[in-house]
Amino acid sequence: MFTTLIAEAMRSLGANTLRTLLAMLGMIIGVAAVVLMLAVGEGSRLRVAETIATLGRDILNIYSGTPAVAGVRTAAGSAPTLTRADADAIAQLESVQAVAPAHYGNTQLQYGGSNWSSSVFGSTPEFSEVRNWEVASGAPLDDGDLRTAAQKVVLGATVAENLFGDASPLGKMLRIKGQPYEVIGVFRPKGSNLDGRDQDDLVWVPLTAAQGKLFGNPFPGTVRFITVKASAESGKGVAERDITALLRQRHRLPADAENDFSIRDITASAESAAQAAQAMSVLLGAIASVSLLVGGIGIMNIMLVTVTERTREIGVRRAIGARRRDILLQFLLESLLICLTGGVLGAGLGVGGAWVAAEFFDTPVVVDLRTAVAAFGFSTAVGLFFGYYPAHRAAAMQPVEALRTA
């Protein structure tokens, strides 16, 4: 019975090929738009999530204060109020997992006839853990390098490529401000952050070497900033409160005095971007769904015309014993076949469009099973919703009236 109805529906649709294709076109465009927009939205969301992962989760940066000189507020970090001893004290907090004080500067690097300007970070061995930097080859700096202010470096992928090309830099000597430093490791590439800055364009040296040999330190023991990784159990909020209380106590600040330091959540902007990307994904899908609504209206219009043209056929079928539900199912199947066929073609077109966007426009796209399920779900829903009224109208016809009208 059901197979017969499907075969009959296919014959009816095939009898008016151009009309069927035009009705199907709206569904093809609608489903393709939904698939493409969902793929672009999901790709953007995942790219932001990957950026957050490269920055490191639950990360806080502590900077020195912003003193007022002659009544003018100066830039953050211009007052040397943070020390390595502060970092050691922060590391003892239960809400903190790891701490890495840092002293840095931009300078020229040289190897043979090649040179490259980069950011040189002096920090402790905890730097790679706190900032989620993984050493891809070689070894990281250790406590011995920190104690002896060893002239050793770990390079970011961009620095290694520009100075050494395809050759391995391990064991080779480069010069930083004219001083020789041995390359002992290379970081795994991270790519750009949300600001477009290359995270791989950096050099890691021992904190003591940066303070004593490369950039100097007019205030012994002070550092430029301290990076803190909060424990997973406590989270950034608890860690920030604990750090604020500890530093105010260590710096002997009166209750009514402002903090002589500032704490920033370096992943806050990335997390906001992730929420924006998620909202944009939903918005793009909603906008694309409007084309499905238009396609559905077109299908309803075509089916109403079809019902009018086939009034005599409906009357004859009812007269020889066809039940109302048989007529209803017949026309509903025709609507559903149009939508499902259009959905399959539209899904293919949407996936192709996503591939073109990724290949030629460097747009992040993700097409997964959920997108395909959504496409078929939309097609089925549109077919049932917009096909029901014409089918119900056909089923409601009385045999005598249908034959008389015809």
| Residue range 88-136, pLDDT digits in tens | 999 999 999 999 999 988 999 999 888 999 999 999 999 988 888 889 9
β-bridge mates for residue 262, sequence order: 63
Identify residue 337 by its one-letter amino acid code.
L
What per-residue confidence (pLDDT) applies to 55? 62
What per-residue confidence (pLDDT) applies to 311? 83
Q: How many residues does the chain have?
A: 406
Distance of CA 168 to the CA centre of its chain: 32
Q: What is the pTM of this model?
A: 0.64
What per-residue confidence (pLDDT) applies to 210? 92
The H helix count followed by the E strand count for the chain is 13, 12
Of 27, 12, 87, 3, nearest to 331 by C-alpha is 12
DSSP per-residue letters across 241-253: HHHHHHHHHHTT-
Q: Alpha-carbon distance 249 to 243, whole Å? A: 10
What per-residue confidence (pLDDT) applies to 89? 94
In this structure, the strands spanning 114-123 and 202-206 are parallel
Separation in Å, CA 42 to CA 75, 137, 274, 354, 378: 39, 33, 11, 11, 18
What per-residue confidence (pLDDT) applies to 356? 86
Domain ranges of the chain: 2-51+272-405, 57-266
Q: Alpha-carbon distance 381 to 292, whole Å? A: 10
Q: Alpha-carbon distance 303 to 300, whole Å? A: 5
Ranges of the chain with pLDDT below 70:
1-2, 4-5, 9, 14, 49-57, 66-79, 193-196, 266-274, 277, 285, 372, 400, 402-406
How many degrees, rounded to 5, is the angle at CA 259 between CA 258 and CA 264? 130
